[in-house]
Structure 1
Amino acid sequence: MGSAIQTSLVLALFTAMAIRPPRPRHSSPFNLQFAFGYLINEQPFLGGLWLATGTWDLLTAAPSGLLWWLVAALTTADAAALAWLAVRTRSARPALTAALLATYGEPGRPRATRPVWWRVLLVPFISWRPDVRRVRNRRYGPARRGNRLDVYLSRRRRPSSAPVLVYIHGGGFRIGNKMIGARPLIYRLAARGWVCVSLDHRLIGVDYADQLGDTRAALAWIRAHIGAYGGDPNAIVLAGGSSGAHLASTAALSGEEVLGVIGIYGYYGGVGGAGTGPASPHEAITPDAPPFLIIHGTLDTLVLREDARAFAQRLRAVSRRPVTYAELPGAQHSFDLFHSLRFTAVSDAIVRFLELTLATDTTLARTHHRSRPGTSGGPAAVGATVRAHDRRPR
């Protein structure tokens, strides 16, 4: 009886924090609202499993007293709240679609894919799939652990001049790992012929300038070596979550040539220890910025949506390239860590953004060539570029 009451009460607290967490006054690396509400918010099905296993024995017995009815009432309320959280995740797709349509018009509409239900319900934290090979721990700098990256490749397709997605993990610039963040997206793209890279950077005993330097060093290694894995060094898209979005955005805005940037629940504010370089993406905004896709949750308690929205608005006011900003109703921080209904919709939107970005880059390359009739390579070279970049994920 006691364990059933405890289960129902704890879940009531967690679901309350998930449905409407108290909003902090400013962005921060950690708070209790996130700790209590995050997992249930993003994985209400796991909450339902926990609730069922914790109360099943009591509730399947004959009613016996006030405590039984109390547990029954709490369990019913918890189940209803979890169902509401599951339904709320469906609001991500309309929000993402609206954001892409506002930027690109009807071509921006993403194709909806079905969630892999057995992963969502049974093994949401496992993204491994047999048709993707991970080449581990390629060293791109002198640091023993902090300067390593993994390359993800399709086992069924041999990439050739394939576009490259580079992902930088989050963790408040102090924790994190290249094995954490956007795994479902990375495996999905790699299985479809992309070359994907997830990198570590130094965390302890370094400042932001060092971490930005690690990002640049990793990109230099990728440009020099990714061809050996079938990737196109001239077709790189940077992505990152939280502090990784900060590093990706700052690197792209301050000189690194990439086709696009994807910021997922990103922090874009100032940091200490920036040295002589930019301390935030805000300081590096330029009209020549690449296309951006910025995705943020309305209930993010670690990085407030107002901060992400302000960066998107400022970037959009200056950049000559598309800037898409989408707020996901009810989403918390770190919603890309596992398979879920919400991240399936996010992945579909990212895939469409990548398709449009590659198509735009190919069009610009063709236009640039035609404007310079003396350029070496001729139409065949441009056609090869189009074919190489047309290996798009479906």
Structure 2
Amino acid sequence: MHYRSREVEQVVQKIAYDCDVLVIGGGIVGLSTAYAITRAAPGTRVTVLEKEQGPARHQTGRNSGVVHSGIYYRPGSLKARYAVRGAAEMVKFCTEYGIDHAVTGKLIVATERAELPRLHALVQRGRENGIPVRELGPAQIAEYEPEVRGLAAIHVGTTGICDFVAVARQLAESSGAEIRYGANVLRIDRRPSLGVAVRTGDGAVVRARVLVNCAGLHCDEVARLTGDDPGMRIVPFRGEYYTLARPELVHGLVYPVPDPAFPFLGVHLTRGIDRSVHIGPNAVPALAREGYGWGTVRPRELGATLAWPGSWRIARQHWRYGAGELRRSVSKGAFTQAVRRLLPAVTEDDLRPAAAGVRAQAVLRDGTLVDDFLIREGARAVHVLNAPSPAATASLPIGREVARRALAALADT
């Protein structure tokens, strides 16, 4: 058993902690973690630091707004378990707080014969994950989506849509945590026997017993600021979207059959809560962590991406796939051609540019794209190092898991 010296114990007792748990990141995962901590351990003082002037300004607020069923994910993985559980919990949470949502179901459509084996594999995977799946032929596809063409499809009934920004705001309000916006983290001083001190851009210092890193696009940088080696790097991929000028062409949610070699789902059609139809995203390298357009370049961040060996290994292994994505990024005609595989009636004039998003993709040194949620622990710290889609869907169970680890670390202090 480890005993602290009397001198150290006296110092610890004199420290005026500003909170028990300090969460860095005000996206849906960070706010869900704060919510889960205060639910599991009432009286725990939680502070959330968010560098933007409001919640959910990045991945949470820049996606398709889809509540995923969990059909894509390897049985037994965190993604599979948390997405299936999280989808049901998200619907319940939205119902309880009056947040716009709908359980619409979706189609996954095969447009080429080569995709049929992968479509059948998804049927099996869905059943293994406990998800109701209905197989459809061409005539049945038309019953759901008259303008969509395909050789075969599956209908996934538990998929839905919601306003994830509103969910994040409600989590912030209901958590009882202190939320500090405009608080950009510059420095972290962690001493395992004394706690964690975080300095923000305005010169403030926040002292806590335990730190939780939910910094999304910057999570690996925050981990290194604490002195922990995350063993990965965030490589940002931008997803570009269009809005459909003729939304009547699409009734609900329509997805292609994804390539299992990549953690991206392909260009899909999504009728959102506001009734507009989004088309996208593609997946192209971003030139900054928050590079929402080709004109946003941050040399330090780009240099860090290029210096990571895994980035070059991805490029060598998947250059053909990447070249296609880049072509669709710079050519609206090429993007339209990809959409026409599912929706033949669409024209270039039907596509109107919409806001892009950036996916925080964890990449290992050997070039492996991390395909599951990744949570690691250090002394007095819990790091969420990979939480892309379906993290918004799964945010409530993810938050509980991170909260469990944070409270265990708190109990050890």
Give the TM-score taking structure 2 as reference length.
0.27
Structure with the larger RCO, 1 or 2 (CA within 8 Å, 6+ apart): 2
Q: Which has the higher strand share?
A: 2
Give the TM-score taking structure 1 as reference length.
0.28
Q: Which has the higher helix share?
A: 1
